[in-house]
A = this chain, B = another copy of it.
Amino acid sequence: MDIIQAAKQARAAAIQLAAIDGATKNQALQAISEALLENVERIKAANAIDLKNSEEQGLEAPLMKRLKFAEEKLQDVVDGIKSLIGLEEPVGKVQMQTELDEGLILTRIACPIGVIGVIFESRPDALVQISTLGLKSGNAVLLKGGSEAKETNRILFEIIREASVKAGIPEGWIVLLESREDVNQILGMDQYIDLLIPRGSNAFVSYIMKNTNIPVMGHADGICHVYVDKTADIELAVEVVTDSKTQSVAVCNALETLLVHKDIASAFLPKLKKSLEAKGVAIRGCERTQKLIEVQAATEEDWKTEYLDYILSIKIVDDLEEAINHINTYGSGHTDCIVTDNQESAEKFMMLVDSGNVFHNVSTRFSDGFRYGFGAEVGISTSKLHARGPVGLEGLLIYKYRLCGHGQVVNDYATRKKSFTHKRLI
């Protein structure tokens, strides 16, 4: 079947899937999780082939790690499906209801977006996660995985497709594309695909964004900041900064640049340096920082860099305003935190910093769908439309307006024979 044909079928399935009740979708999710567990040996065997081929082709170690799909990762995705089943049915939820006039009722209800295209690199767990999220939210999914995970993706796809269709989900709702040329075809399919979710490196996501007219949900960068204000509790600041930088370094919500108020820098920085160096963090500092602690020099380039590594850049600022300006200039709108005992400064910071997540006195690492209690995560969006910050199921939904009446015509209102009541019901 060619890709256009598959996309057309996904579009048709999406229409049907939008009308499938929550119980059927949950049964399908249950069937998928059981089938995954039953087929663990087949999945491992397929994954072993991918790992062997990739090793022969010299795939880098971090990618090899992401490619590996052992019992542990399988248990994680099965747990994820269980939590999805437990979530409230999202489709059909009434968001607002207004009586426009007697017997003329407007209702806004949540509905799926339609066909979601997902393009992901090596991680096969992403295939399971995104297709089950799509199913719960009533969307058809068109998946394009990395060629290095070809065998694993193929078996995971087959298991999900078979179990879900047997449970009553319309045939064609899930499509797996395999060849590299498919990516460019997908990018041009704005007629069939409503939303693209690229998962992978920064460069990869940026490439997708620049080469398609389809709306894209993805984050391009996570240059996160902590600003330590002059009235910060120093012990607390050391803990928050250390956790933000080191709890996990290769992630988008890790701290990259620290801003410190000039009045607290001499008391704070030596203590911070000790804590960070114990964790193996290399520090780069602005000129003023270098006068207080012995560190490498930071350049303009550092303020724009997402290290994803045990490196931190530090800049001393004159005041809160300079910190806010720095973040709004060099940040990526992801997650930024102020450490301060001054409530007014905290309010000002959270109001004026133009980021999806603005924190006060807590680690930037909290910026995550699971920690936020969303149950499942599509990704963390740094775009400013539709969905921002950690995106749960809600990001895969839109709404439609239903208007029900008994023959009302606009002419009666235009000629003032009748008038609107606009009474909010829900």
Using CB atoms and an 8 Å cutoff, list the residues of chain A in contact with chain B: 14-16, 18-19, 98, 100, 104, 106, 113-114, 194-195, 209-210, 213, 215, 233, 236, 239-240, 242-243, 247, 324, 328, 346, 348, 350-352, 354-363, 365-367, 371-373, 383-386, 388-390, 398-411, 413-414, 420, 422, 424
Return the chain B residue nearest A343 by Cβ: B404
Residues of B within 8 A of A104 (CB): 362, 366
Contact yes or no, B354 A385, CB < 8 A? no
Given pairs A360-B403, A373-B422, 10 additional interface contacts (CB within 8 A): A15-B352, A209-B213, A233-B407, A243-B410, A346-B404, A358-B402, A360-B402, A366-B403, A371-B413, A373-B424
Contact yes or no, A194 B384, CB < 8 A? yes
Residue of A100, A242, A359, A362 with most chain B CB atoms under a 10 A cut-off: A362
Return the chain B residue nearest A341 by Cβ: B406
Minimum distance in angstroms from A13 CB to a CB of chain B:
12
Contact yes or no, B373 A408, CB < 8 A? no
Return the chain B residue nearest A195 by Cβ: B385
Contact yes or no, A354 B239, CB < 8 A? no
Give Cα A164–Cα B362 distance, bound, in whole angstroms: 38
Residues of B within 8 A of A240 (CB): 407, 409
Minimum distance in angstroms from A242 CB to a CB of chain B:
8
Residues of B within 8 A of A352 (CB): 15-16, 18-19
Contact yes or no, A405 B373, CB < 8 A? no
Minimum distance in angstroms from A213 CB to a CB of chain B:
6
Minimum distance in angstroms from A14 CB to a CB of chain B:
8
Give Cα A114–Cα B360 distance, bound, in whole angstroms: 22
Q: Given A247-B410, A365-B410, A385-B113, answer yes or no on A359-B403 (Cβ-Cβ < 8 Å).
A: yes
Interface of A is mostly: mixed
Minimum distance in angstroms from A345 CB to a CB of chain B:
13
Give Cα A240–Cα B367 distance, bound, in whole angstroms: 51
Give Cα A114–Cα B239 distance, bound, in whole angstroms: 33
Give Cα A23–Cα B390 distance, bound, in whole angstroms: 32
Residues of B within 8 A of A388 (CB): 398-401
Residues of B within 8 A of A242 (CB): 409
Contact yes or no, B410 A373, CB < 8 A? no
Contact yes or no, B359 A15, CB < 8 A? no
Minimum distance in angstroms from A107 CB to a CB of chain B:
10
Minimum distance in angstroms from A10 CB to a CB of chain B:
13
Sample (9) of A-B pairs whose CB atoms are under 8 Å apart: A16-B352, A215-B215, A233-B407, A239-B409, A247-B414, A357-B400, A357-B403, A362-B409, A365-B409
